[in-house]
Amino acid sequence: MGAEPDDPYPGDRVCPTRAEFYAVATDSYNFWTVPTTESQDFDIERYLSDLLTGVPPFFFNSKQRLSWVDGEWLHLKCKSEWGTTKASACNVKVRGLTHYARLGLSTPISYDHEEGTLNSTLSLGLGASPNMACLIRAWCYILSCRWVERLAIAGQHAQLLQPTRPSLSNFWETTLAGDWHAVVNRGGSTYHAPWSWSKNASASHVDLPEWPPNSVLALEALENFCATESMHREATLALCVVILLSQYPDKIVKLPKYSLPTAKSGRGLSRHKRFDLLVDKAITLSCAEEGIESILCSPFLVPGVPCTLAGAHLLGARQALSEGGKMKSLEDFMIQKRPTIAPLWLAAIWCGQAEHILNNAVLGYSSVNLPASTWTGIPQSFIQYDYISRGPQGTIPRANEYRVTYLVNQLAFQPKTPYPPFEYTKKNNLSLEVSTHLCHDHYLQSYKMFWVVEEEEDEDILAQSLQLPRRSASLQAAKDLPLGNPCLFRSE
């Protein structure tokens, strides 16, 4: 697709022609335009479980001293390693990355209740129950209890402080009263669990007695309530809301008014083991800084769209979403085309964070978190793809050049943009480093994550090990797309 004779923007091999720009924008518009759905059958439990399958559980089976970083927030040092080649002649077979889990806050997250706030805008009927605020507070308590249990195993002085001993009979009163605190004391500092929400963040907790946490009992109370009230789907949405909002510790959370659940929490048939499998994984994911936003922004990456055409691609997505009402169109698209991450998007829509995240994504401000991407199996960056060459003989896609550079050079920075560089590089212009490793077939093949221990300890603690599929892509050629329709878009 060449430039039109009267095209005032003829392109220069970097900037696309007007025809190329609108061909990509129209193709994106068509992709993001989906039929309206009113289906009540979206299996939010199944897809959240799928999303969390590969996430490392927050669990320590060792008394080894972990590597902590104290400050305004408490961080745990982590290490990710990707196996990138099986070539026997290669001396750089692993790409490592140090990252941190935010495991403690200096003050709890502030929340308040407002009449009529956060009325559900979800067409699936999810989140409309007046019990949503109760379910959210219950999950905050459950995750915090599990956090205390796990940190105690790791040798930390972690405590659950509340007025009375945890029990099935007082679960809802304790959870909703908000006068419980999950804390860990390190030196002269006290850190709160990332899911600690308080109506008065400055309130003292020193006078409360310490009780042994019991996350299994708390899960049983939640499960019994959900079974009685048929609210497992709402409880799953509430868990997603808690995971999401833990990413914004400085935000004041607004919750709707609620009343104490009337269902009794007596013992009975419970599926608490099903929820129990999600808890440790939910903790790890929610403690990955920028991890949730990077997952939510992942649908806006099309690996074949080079960085020079990213603006056109995002324009098409933005236009398609705005025509049907942003939130409704977004909900429909995720459920139909990206169901694995739809639970998190539904949570973002419900709690009012979707507009902020969407605006960042369509403006190209998508963050990239390779560990979170690897755990969930959702690609976020061009370096996770092997690009098939469609260029002249004796060249390779520049995306492959950048990928090899990153995978073999430990000092190379991770590309901040998810979109691949455009065009091709002549092989005789490659750096010596890339030329040496080009025949070693470097790509992300396997993965391990470790909880890092202090230097004087033994080996780091293995948290997760995964085999990764090979992903291939080719750079999109605008000339291969149908003619674009500039009339779809606002005049510039």
User: Pairing relation of β-strands 424-426 and 395-397?
Assistant: antiparallel
| Spatial distance between the Cα atoms of 287 and 276, rounded to a whole number of angstroms | 18
pLDDT at position 2 is 47
Tokens, residue 204: 């003292």
pLDDT at position 264 is 54
| Spatial distance between the Cα atoms of 29 and 191, rounded to a whole number of angstroms | 46
List of residues 6+ apart from 163 with CB closer than 8 A: 174, 179, 208, 209
For the purposes of burial, counting CB atoms within 10 Å of the CB of 352, is it exposed (0-12), middle (13-18) or buried (19 or more)? middle
User: Pairing relation of β-strands 253-256 and 386-387?
Assistant: unpaired
DSSP character for 250?
Answer: T
pLDDT tens-digit readout, 2-27? 444 556 655 556 788 888 899 999 99
The C-alpha angle with vertex 182 and arms to 179 and 188, in degrees rounded to 5, equals: 115
For the purposes of burial, counting CB atoms within 10 Å of the CB of 458, is it exposed (0-12), middle (13-18) or buried (19 or more)? exposed
Using alpha carbons, select from 346, 213, 215 the residue that is nearest to residue 283.
215
Using alpha carbons, select from 386, 408, 406 the residue that is nearest to residue 396.
386
User: Pairing relation of β-strands 157-161 and 210-211?
Assistant: antiparallel
| Spatial distance between the Cα atoms of 275 and 268, rounded to a whole number of angstroms | 16
The whole-model pTM stands at: 0.92
Secondary structure element (H or E) that encloses residue 282, with its range:
helix 272-286
pLDDT at position 269 is 46
Q: Return the SS3 of 10.
A: coil
Tokens, residue 394: 């004796």
Using alpha carbons, select from 169, 109, 113 the residue that is nearest to residue 143.
109
Handedness of CA 342, 343, 344, 349 (dihedral sign): positive
Angstrom distances, CA of residue 420 to CA of 48, 82, 214, 365, 397: 29, 20, 48, 15, 9
Tokens, residue 423: 């065009």
Count CB neighbours of 395 within 10 A.
Answer: 18
Using alpha carbons, select from 110, 491, 122 the residue that is nearest to residue 331.
122
Neighbour-count burial for 23-48, b at 16+ CB within 10 Å, e otherwise: bbbbbbbebbbbeebeeeebebbebb
Query: Which residue ranges of the chain lie beneath pLDDT 50?
Result: 2-4, 268-269, 492
Angle between helices 232-245 and 132-153 (to 10 degrees): 60
C-alpha 131 chain-centroid distance: 26
Helices (H) and strands (E) in the chain, counts: 15, 16
Handedness of CA 120, 126, 129, 132 (dihedral sign): negative
Tokens, residue 236: 């799953």
| Spatial distance between the Cα atoms of 375 and 56, rounded to a whole number of angstroms | 7
Secondary structure element (H or E) that encloses residue 80, with its range:
strand 74-83
